[in-house]
Structure 1
Amino acid sequence: MQAVAACLSRYVRQNQSLVVAYSGGLDSTVLLHVANRLADSVSCDLSALHVHHGLSANADAWAESCASFCRAQEISLTVIRVDVPRCSGEGMEAAARRVRHQAFDAHPADWILLAHHADDQAETVLHNLLRGAGVRGAAAMPEGRGRLMRPLLGLGRAALFAYAKHHQLTWIDDESNADTRYTRNFLRREILPLISSRFPRANEHLAAAAGRFGAADSLLDDLACLDLGDCPAEFPLSRKLFREMSDPRARNLLRAMLKWHHVQPPDEARLTEFVRQLLTAGSDRHPRIDLERYSLWCEAGKLHFRNLV
């Protein structure tokens, strides 16, 4: 209660609307229950949003379970059905996350509350580092960005479980969470427990490191803004702008531009080679990157971007 109340006080103004992204699992059930108890005290309208992915045979039953809980708590619930592309090339986990966030983007609430906690943060840091992420990826999940808010980010899962037991809450267990073929499940069930057996505070330290990486990421964004000068943070950008800066600053600016356009940068090797060509190739050369979600290319002295999704 104290953690969520403190987070709401940092972001929410009186009479704004809050919606909890409610899967029906332990984490989001606890968040919804706490937010419901606090809604009147912060003078906010509270509702819940359940994204129906349709990936499990139990998906309809989960939606009904969420509806039942919300009826008992007198909380308005919206259920949105989405289609998760199975052959997008980005993987099922990433595709489901993308369409889920599209559903969040379409919701009119002032704030969307997500139930990620400190153990999720530690898992995300480790996952991103193992995939070769830099400072931005290691920063993992911020407490607040845009309309998204994560009030439980400072708490471990054990605290949520204790709260749920104390208040006799019931929740859904998604059977896919036990499938270690999914990378996050493998890290959560196999790797992090092993690490914690040697380093008992591993999750706490990984989550704290995410905060420090987040501060560094913010400074890198500030540097990118300085390097843009009077240019708006929009494509196309003059190729000359990149040629006037060092290679590390050019790569930082390009990463920031892609982040601000809500797409992931290419892997480090492709990004480095693209920036090298951007800085050194003659005007008759046209460096280009084509990815699943977007394209980057040089033409007529400018760097162009096209979102393909």
Structure 2
Amino acid sequence: MASSRKSKSDNISRRAQHVLRTQVQTGDHLTVALSGGVDSAVLLHLLVPLVSQMQLPLSAVHVNHGISPNADKWSEFCRNLCQSRNIPLEIARVKVMREPGISLEAAAREERYRIFRNLQTDYVVLAQHLDDQAETLLLQLLRGAGVKGLSAMPVVRTVRKEMDEQVSTGPVPALERRPKLLRPLLDVSRREIEDYAREHALQWITDESNDEVSFDRNFLRHALFPLLEMRFPAYRTTFLRASRHMAEASALLDELAEVDSAQCAVPGKLHVEDLRKLGLPRARNLLRYTLAQHGVILPSTVKLEEILRQLLSSCPDTKLHVIFGNTEIRCFRSRVHIRKVQAIPAARWHLVWQGEECLPTPEFGGTLRFTRCIGAGIGLQKINEQSITIRLRQGGERLRPDCNRPRRSLKNLLREASLPPWQRQRLPLIFSGEQLVCVPGIGVDCDFQAADDEQGLVVEWQANPGSPWGGREIPHSA
């Protein structure tokens, strides 16, 4: 019997080692997500000898959600466990804020992943296992998820930023040093993990909420799956096989969407006419794919259908504006813009420039850069007696960027520059006293342009990724 238990224990270790050797390179830093429960305690116990063999730095992170009255005791348990094994531990305390329509489980999970994606590590190692796969599949099925939602959790994937940080007018940018999630126990059952823990006399904590069947996952675990196992004992591996089929189908749909996306008139943006050329299923697939590429949490099926209907029925001059969550979709000249909803600063907002080379303006969603240059930009001699301020449009502003043409309304200049209306509302304007002297991307007023031998001030506007500008840079135009 002892030999049999040892064989099972070695089997789990070999499976975990196989995952590490196929996914991780020598020197990669691993950080265990340590809750203190039996799953993560076993994971930590498995990894300690493996990382030593493979020469991998190992640390741990514990997220204290503050939900349970025992949360601090769990943190202390994790601290003692890591100290006994000489493993560095970071304890992150978070405050879980529930929003309407978001469960406590989902809100807590988002806080954990927010911590994970900011860790300075190569891999965050999670203890999710075969039973977790089965629970996730059935929960997603009960929510009416599509093939992507029914796909199996992958062994490895990048920690994605969620929509509050990533919604932009272009695809989600690749960020340096973003950690990946690694799940080396996905083909190991909960029963095997518990047997391993008892065999090695491990200690762990038990979350009292694990027995509360008011949580959907706990209901499946305690009420449904024991009954299901009596009739279908292999349901875990069967569910896993079904999820992998769904993952394959999802990958094929993404490939189809990439082909359709490549036909768009502007890379990274949908064109309404391109959507009309597709059948409804392909148009729906392309819209869903594009939203996912922008880091958006997808809307409900009903909302997605409504967005698609409005897009397909829109005209070039239609001012389409659809909001879901904190994301909005707009159309400008038949191109679809996806961005985060942001409030417009107060109309009388202004900021005094005090000689900074770099001036962040979060109210506008970007940064102004001021560069001194001979013969270009705003002539410094022409503004040395007036303060320089940055303001929003009030309406009625006029500018003469071309000395051979009359002064014109800023409204017409912005329209000719093909700037979408919502970006015009956030365009920073440069004033000297009460005179508009420069509009980034449009030009410097003729009366304030630097002479060829005069020192000038070139103004550039750089939008932040995720802002309504989508990372777009608007240089000064003379």
Superposition TM-score, scaled by structure 2 size: 0.62
Q: Which residue of structure 2 lines up, in the alignment, with residue 145 of structure 1?
A: 157
State the AA in 2 paired with 1:268: T
Judge which range, 180-189 or 125-134, deviates more.
180-189
Q: Which residue of structure 1 lines up, in the alignment, with residue 280 of structure 2?
A: 247
Q: Which residue of structure 1 lines up, in the alignment, with residue 189 of structure 2?
A: 156
Deviations 1:125-144 (A, max 9, x none): 00001100010010041111
Pick aligned residue for 1:297 from 317, 330, 334: 330
Give the RMSD, CA atoms, in angstroms. Answer: 2.0
> Superposed, which structure 2 residues align to 1:47-126 within 5 Å?
47-126=59-138
Are the counterparts in 2 of residues 16 and 110 from structure 1 also a CA contact under 8 Å? yes
Judge which range, 96-105 or 221-230, deviates more.
221-230
Are the counterparts in 2 of residues 118 and 156 from structure 1 also a CA contact under 8 Å? yes
Are the counterparts in 2 of residues 139 and 213 from structure 1 also a CA contact under 8 Å? yes
Where do 5+ consecutive residues of structure 2 fail to align? 1-12, 159-179, 343-478
The Cα shift of 1:279 comes to 1.9
Are the counterparts in 2 of residues 88 and 95 from structure 1 also a CA contact under 8 Å? no
Where do 5+ consecutive residues of structure 1 fail to align? none
Pick aligned residue for 2:254 from 218, 221, 225: 221
Aligned length: 309
The Cα shift of 1:36 comes to 1.1
Structure 1's 308 and 155: CA in aligned 2 closer, same or farther, altered over 3 A? farther
The Cα shift of 1:262 comes to 3.0
Pick aligned residue for 1:266 from 299, 310, 320: 299
Q: Work out the CA distance in 2 between the residues paired with 1:23 and 1:234.
A: 43
Q: Work out the CA distance in 2 between the residues paired with 1:88 and 1:234.
A: 35
Deviations 1:249-297 (A, max 9, x none): 1211222222233333111122123212222333454554422342233
Residue 163 of structure 2 is aligned to residue 130 of structure 1: no
Q: Secondary structure at the match of 2:282?
A: helix
Are the counterparts in 2 of residues 119 and 207 from structure 1 also a CA contact under 8 Å? no
Q: Work out the CA distance in 2 between the residues paired with 1:243 and 1:163.
A: 57
Q: Secondary structure at the match of 2:258?
A: helix
Structure 1's 47 and 230: CA in aligned 2 closer, same or farther, altered over 3 A? farther
Q: Which residue of structure 2 lines up, in the alignment, with residue 207 of structure 1?
A: 240
Are the counterparts in 2 of residues 19 and 48 from structure 1 also a CA contact under 8 Å? yes
- The structure with the larger Rg is 2
Residue 51 of structure 2 is aligned to residue 39 of structure 1: yes
The Cα shift of 1:210 comes to 1.1
State the AA in 2 paired with 1:23: S
Q: Secondary structure at the match of 2:22?
A: helix
Q: Secondary structure at the match of 2:149?
A: helix
Q: Which residue of structure 1 lines up, in the alignment, with residue 442 of structure 2?
A: none
Are the counterparts in 2 of residues 224 and 252 from structure 1 also a CA contact under 8 Å? yes
Residue 26 of structure 2 is aligned to residue 14 of structure 1: yes
Are the counterparts in 2 of residues 235 and 305 from structure 1 also a CA contact under 8 Å? no
Question: Which one has the bigger helix percentage?
Answer: 1
Q: Secondary structure at the match of 2:148?
A: helix
Q: Secondary structure at the match of 1:251?
A: helix
Q: Secondary structure at the match of 1:306?
A: strand
Q: Secondary structure at the match of 1:109?
A: coil
Structure 1's 260 and 192: CA in aligned 2 closer, same or farther, altered over 3 A? farther
Are the counterparts in 2 of residues 287 and 297 from structure 1 also a CA contact under 8 Å? yes
Q: Work out the CA distance in 2 between the residues paired with 1:48 and 1:142.
A: 21
Q: Secondary structure at the match of 1:188?
A: helix
Deviations 1:192-250 (A, max 9, x none): 22222221111221122111211221222211111111769976432233222221112
State the AA in 2 paired with 1:81: R
Q: Secondary structure at the match of 1:40?
A: helix
Q: Secondary structure at the match of 1:41?
A: helix
Q: Work out the CA distance in 1 between the residues paired with 2:43 and 2:114.
A: 21
Deviations 1:97-152 (A, max 9, x none): 11111110000101111111010000000000110001001004111112111110
Are the counterparts in 2 of residues 116 and 152 from structure 1 also a CA contact under 8 Å? yes
Counting aligned pairs with the same residue, the percent is: 41
Q: Work out the CA distance in 1 between the residues paired with 2:220 and 2:17.
A: 31
Residue 223 of structure 2 is aligned to residue 184 of structure 1: no
Are the counterparts in 2 of residues 111 and 148 from structure 1 also a CA contact under 8 Å? yes
- Higher relative CO (CA 8 A, sep ≥ 6), structure 1 or 2? 1
